[in-house]
């Protein structure tokens, strides 16, 4: 019986993780954490009987305590709750699917406690990769990627000499606005941005796919996860989303991982690694598919991706500013307070005003986030 804890259990990755648990009874959920979705959390507690449940929102935490008072679950609040889950003795694997930089401290705590990390929280490596990866190596902890692209790279490197990697090719669907020009993008509304052609994801990440910021964040993650220089990471637009990413080696061989666009595959791979388990769902029918196509990303139209490479190259605290500015801007866009094209504009403005801290600690990372939020709050009022 493998015991797992899930941070972000009511979100897209979290709920799909629990779907895998339902199909594999040798997985035991010992802890769950979420933001403010009390009803979903109550349902999960009654189904999976975790020892601990945590809610980030204090009011939601109090509400949950009352709702599940008839159970044995221990309900905790805020960062204290996340940290207790991260270090709980029973948990072997911590699935970090919680959104935002609140995932950094629990991930560090879990690594220090020797837990395997199934990583779906982008911000952890984007902002604190220089802290996380050396610590994981020191503690002998495995960080198993849950993102489909990074899982594909991980699988394509399996059994290979990583020193022979020439290039990582991250594939991108292009999102709902692939092929559109800047003039057309100015008129795009929230409903348009949320119509992803291939993937079913949460609202924030779906907007990130539309701006291609999501791919920029994945570039930063790949740099840390696989220890490659930025100039050896390339983005390839692949509209069919069948090839999830590729690795090119020094001899010219290219290894790729293919499959239907279904997040349960990389989640299950991380949970059961190095094993694979039978999984229901559609399979790739190459005869029906017929053609796979590839394009260069349009970084002059989708400047969010171009800015990501710039932020990653500058390093230090700049990726934190990039990420925080995007988070705030996407939130404003979803509330219809700014237009779609203002998202990358606010990211660029935030980066231009920031003075880089070369190797920020966790407090400096969080301070850079706060300052970026405050700046955008002053610009958009």
Mean pLDDT computed over 62-90: 97
Q: Tens digits of per-residue pLDDT, 117-128?
A: 999 998 899 999
Share of the chain above pLDDT 70, in %: 99
Q: Is 313 a residue whose pLDDT tops 90?
A: yes
Q: Hey, what are 350's tokens?
A: 């935030």
- pLDDT for the residue numbered 101: 87
Q: Is 17 a residue whose pLDDT tops 90?
A: yes
Least confident of 104-108, 138-142, 181-185, 229-233: 181-185
- The mean predicted confidence, pLDDT, of the chain is 95
Nearest residue to 46 via CA among 16, 69, 77, 23: 69
| Contact predicate 79/105, CB 8 Å | yes
Position of tokens 């094993």? 275
Q: Is 197 a residue whose pLDDT tops 80?
A: no
Q: Is 319 a residue whose pLDDT tops 90?
A: yes
- Integer Cα distance of 149 and 269 in angstroms: 13
| Contact predicate 144/167, CB 8 Å | no
- Kindly state the DSSP code that residue 295 receives in the 8-state scheme: B
Q: Is 35 a residue whose pLDDT tops 70?
A: yes
Q: What is the dihedral of CA 216, 217, 222, 225, to 10 degrees?
A: 170
Q: Hey, what are 328's tokens?
A: 């705030």
7 pairs with which residues across the strands? 33, 96
Residue 80's contacts (CB-CB under 8 Å, 6 or more residues apart) are none
- pLDDT for the residue numbered 207: 93
Q: Is 201 a residue whose pLDDT tops 80?
A: no
Q: Is 57 a residue whose pLDDT tops 80?
A: yes
Q: Tens digits of per-residue pLDDT, 331-380?
A: 999 999 999 999 999 999 999 999 999 999 999 999 999 999 999 999 99
| Contact predicate 282/272, CB 8 Å | no
Q: Tens digits of per-residue pLDDT, 320-338?
A: 999 999 999 999 999 999 9
Mean pLDDT computed over 99-128: 95
Q: Is 177 a residue whose pLDDT tops 80?
A: yes
Mean pLDDT computed over 63-81: 97
- pLDDT for the residue numbered 342: 96
| Contact predicate 71/52, CB 8 Å | no
Per-residue confidence band for 199, with pLDDT thresholds at 50, 70 and 90: low
Mean pLDDT computed over 210-216: 95
Residue 65: how many CA atoms within 13 Å on its side-chain side?
A: 11
- pLDDT for the residue numbered 304: 96
Q: Tens digits of per-residue pLDDT, 248-277?
A: 999 999 999 999 999 999 999 999 999 999
Per-residue confidence band for 203, with pLDDT thresholds at 50, 70 and 90: confident
What is the full DSSP assignment across 26-53?
TEEEEEEEESS-HHHHHHHHHHH--SEE
Per-residue confidence band for 205, with pLDDT thresholds at 50, 70 and 90: confident
Position of tokens 């804890």? 5
- pLDDT for the residue numbered 196: 77
pTM, rounded to two decimals: 0.94
């Amino acid at each position: 019986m493998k015991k797992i804890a899930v941070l972000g259990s009511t979100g897209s990755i979290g709920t799909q993780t629990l779907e895998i648990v339902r199909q594999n009874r040798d997985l035991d959920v010992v802890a769950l954490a979420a933001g403010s979705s009390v009803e979903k959390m109550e349902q999960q507690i009654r189904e999976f009987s975790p020892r601990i449940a945590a809610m980030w929102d204090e009011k939601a935490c109090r509400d949950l305590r009352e709702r599940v008072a008839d159970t044995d679950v221990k309900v905790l609040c805020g960062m204290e709750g996340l940290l207790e889950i991260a270090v709980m003795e029973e948990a072997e694997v911590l699935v970090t699917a919680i959104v935002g930089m609140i995932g950094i401290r629990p991930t560090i705590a879990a690594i220090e406690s020797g837990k395997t990390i199934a990583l779906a929280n982008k911000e952890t490596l984007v902002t604190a990769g220089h802290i996380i990866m050396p610590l994981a190596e020191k503690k002998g902890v495995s960080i198993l990627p849950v993102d489909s692209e990074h899982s594909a790279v991980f699988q394509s490197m399996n059994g290979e000499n990583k020193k022979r990697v020439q290039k990582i090719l991250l594939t991108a669907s292009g999102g709902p606005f692939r092929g559109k020009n800047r003039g057309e993008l100015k008129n795009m509304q929230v409903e348009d941005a949320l119509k992803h052609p291939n993937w079913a994801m949460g609202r924030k990440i779906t907007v990130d796919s539309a701006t291609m910021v999501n791919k920029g964040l994945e570039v930063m993650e790949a740099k840390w996860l696989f220890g490659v220089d930025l100039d050896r990471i390339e983005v390839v637009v692949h509209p069919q989303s069948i090839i999830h990413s590729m690795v090119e080696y020094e001899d010219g061989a290219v290894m790729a991982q293919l499959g239907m666009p279904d997040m349960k595959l990389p989640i299950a791979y991380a949970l059961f690694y190095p094993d694979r388990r039978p999984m229901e769902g559609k399979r790739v029918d190459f005869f029906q598919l017929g053609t796979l196509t590839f394009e260069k990303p349009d970084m002059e139209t989708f400047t969010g991706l171009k800015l990501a490479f710039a932020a990653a190259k500058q390093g230090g605290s700049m990726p934190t500013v990039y990420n925080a500015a995007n988070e705030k801007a996407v939130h404003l866009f979803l509330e219809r307070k700014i237009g779609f094209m203002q998202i990358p504009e606010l990211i660029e403005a935030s980066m231009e005003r920031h003075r880089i801290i070369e190797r920020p600690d966790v407090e400096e990372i969080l301070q850079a986030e706060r300052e970026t939020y405050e700046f955008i709050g002053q610009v958009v009022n």
